[in-house]
């Protein structure tokens, strides 16, 4: 076995004492250069593919933006008027050709003393060559009948009578910007209920306790109206809750858009045995 050079590569070791003219040795010898060349070419092509849109955009001139101006034809100034230019002459009157007419007035109801001498109606033969009108006149037999447009008259002015609408009942709100409030706030309301609420004897004997839910309307002047029991306990507690609510002083009314309005308010009242 021949001695190998100290700088021999793996290919030299593998193909030692072999025919190096064979294709495998040449392929392995040129493989690193081929791979490097392929990577470089691939990287260049990839970079060009990524940068192509940017290059095209940079080389393409930007189109000029056309400013859109909104023009209101109603606000355009009128054309200039030359004071020295005479006004245009009026159009010539249209001459209406005269046609043969026969006097034939429609019947009209009048008193006997105002009835003129009776004039017989025109015959059918006369109406074939003439037109019924207020008077008899001769005209051009070849002229065609022209119906004149009626003169423009002012239409009667329609007088509209004012109708008074029935007063609308004030709306009752359930949600407002500013809720109604008992004078002094909720703490004062609790003190009022504790001082004025009386426990019914029937409820005490039946050992009844709980909450009575009362609904009422706070008017624009703060007064209480439409007191109703939504959920009660019975044994006189519902009536006592209504009595206490009705005897309340005036509340501060609720407000919507800065004005007092009627507001429906729900209030739970506790009945607790000590």
Q: Can you give the CATH number for the domain in which 254 is found?
A: 3.30.2420
**Same-domain pairing of 182 and 129:** no
Do 186 and 262 belong together in one domain? Answer: yes
Residue 200: name the closest of 229, 228, 242, 231 by CA. 242
Q: Assess whether 205 and 263 both reside in one domain.
A: yes
Query: Does 124 share its domain with 181?
Result: no
Instruction: With CA atoms as reference, report the closest residue to 227 among 238, 219, 216.
Output: 216
**What pLDDT is recorded for position 1?**
46
* Residues whose CB is less than 8 angstroms from the CB of residue 226 and which lie 6 or more positions away in sequence, other chains included: 215, 216, 217
208 and 247 in a single domain? The answer is yes
Give the pLDDT of residue 61. 79
Is residue 66 situated within a structural domain? no
Locate all alpha helices (DSSP H) within 16-78, ordered by sequence: 23-59
Position 75 in a domain: no
Query: How many of the other CB atoms lie within 10 Å of CB of 248?
Result: 20
The tokens describing 108, both together, are 């009209």
- Quick check: is 42 in a domain? yes
Domain shared by 136 and 182, yes or no:
no
The answer to whether residues 126 and 211 belong to one domain is no
Residue that is written with structure tokens 């109603």 in the block = 74
Q: What is the DSSP code (8-state) at residue 7?
A: T
Evaluate whether residue 76 is within a structural domain: no
The burial of 221, by beta-carbon neighbours within 10 Å (0-12 exposed, 13-18 middle, 19 or more buried), is given as exposed
206 and 257 in a single domain? The answer is: yes
For the whole model, what pTM was predicted?
0.40
Q: With CA atoms as reference, report the closest residue to 214 among 202, 197, 198, 232.
A: 232
Longest Cα separation, the chain: 165
Report residue 267 as tokens: 């209030």
How many structural domains are present in the chain?
3
Residue 162 belongs to a domain: no
Is 242 found in the same domain as 184? yes
Residues 208 and 131 in one domain: no
3-state secondary structure of 205: helix
Q: Is 213 in the same domain as 135?
A: no
pLDDT at 81: 79
**pLDDT for the residue 167:** 42
In a domain, 114, yes or no: no
Is 208 among the domain residues?
yes
Range of the domain at 136: 99-106+120-143
Tokens at 7, concatenated: 């700088």
> Residue 271 — φ and ψ, nearest 5°?
-115, 110
pLDDT, residue 36, reads 92
Q: Are residues 38 and 124 in the same domain?
A: no
Q: With respect to residue 60, please indicate whether it lies within any of the assigned structural domains.
A: no
**By three-state DSSP, how is residue 168 classified?**
coil
What number of H helices and E strands is found in the chain?
6, 7
pLDDT tens, position by position, for the chain (274 residues)? Answer: 455 566 667 666 666 666 666 667 677 777 888 889 999 999 999 998 998 988 888 888 777 777 777 777 777 777 787 788 887 788 888 777 676 676 666 677 777 667 666 666 666 666 666 666 666 666 666 655 555 555 555 555 555 555 554 445 578 998 999 999 999 999 999 999 989 999 998 888 889 889 999 999 999 999 999 999 999 988 999 999 999 999 999 999 999 988 999 999 999 999 987 7
- Residue 221: DSSP 8-state: T
Query: Distance (Å, rounded) from C-alpha 161 to C-alpha 243?
Result: 50
């Amino acid at each position: 076995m021949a001695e190998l050079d100290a700088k021999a590569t793996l290919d030299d070791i593998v193909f030692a004492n072999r025919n190096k003219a064979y294709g495998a040795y040449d392929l392995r010898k040129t493989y690193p250069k081929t791979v490097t060349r392929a990577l470089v070419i691939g990287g260049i092509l990839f970079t060009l593919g990524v940068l192509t849109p940017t290059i095209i955009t940079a080389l393409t001139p930007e189109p000029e933006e056309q400013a859109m101006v909104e023009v209101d034809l109603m606000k355009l100034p009128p054309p200039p008027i030359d004071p020295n230019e005479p006004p245009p002459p009026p159009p010539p009157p249209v001459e209406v050709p005269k046609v043969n007419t026969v006097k034939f007035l429609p019947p009209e109801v009048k008193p006997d003393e105002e009835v003129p001498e009776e004039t017989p109606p025109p015959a059918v033969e006369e109406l074939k060559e003439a037109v019924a009108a207020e008077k008899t006149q001769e005209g051009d037999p070849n002229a065609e009948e022209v119906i004149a447009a009626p003169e423009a008259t002012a239409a009667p002015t329609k007088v509209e009578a004012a109708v008074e609408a029935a007063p609308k009942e004030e709306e009752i709100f359930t949600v407002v910007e500013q809720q109604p409030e008992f004078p002094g706030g909720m703490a004062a309301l609790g003190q009022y209920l504790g001082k004025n609420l009386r426990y019914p004897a029937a409820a005490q004997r039946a050992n009844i306790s709980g909450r009575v839910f009362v609904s009422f309307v706070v008017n624009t002047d703060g007064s209480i109206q439409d007191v109703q029991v939504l959920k009660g306990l019975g044994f006189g507690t519902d009536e006592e809750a209504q009595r206490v609510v009705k005897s309340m002083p005036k509340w501060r009314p609720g407000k919507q858009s800065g004005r007092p309005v009627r507001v429906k308010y729900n209030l739970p009242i506790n009945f607790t045995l000590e």
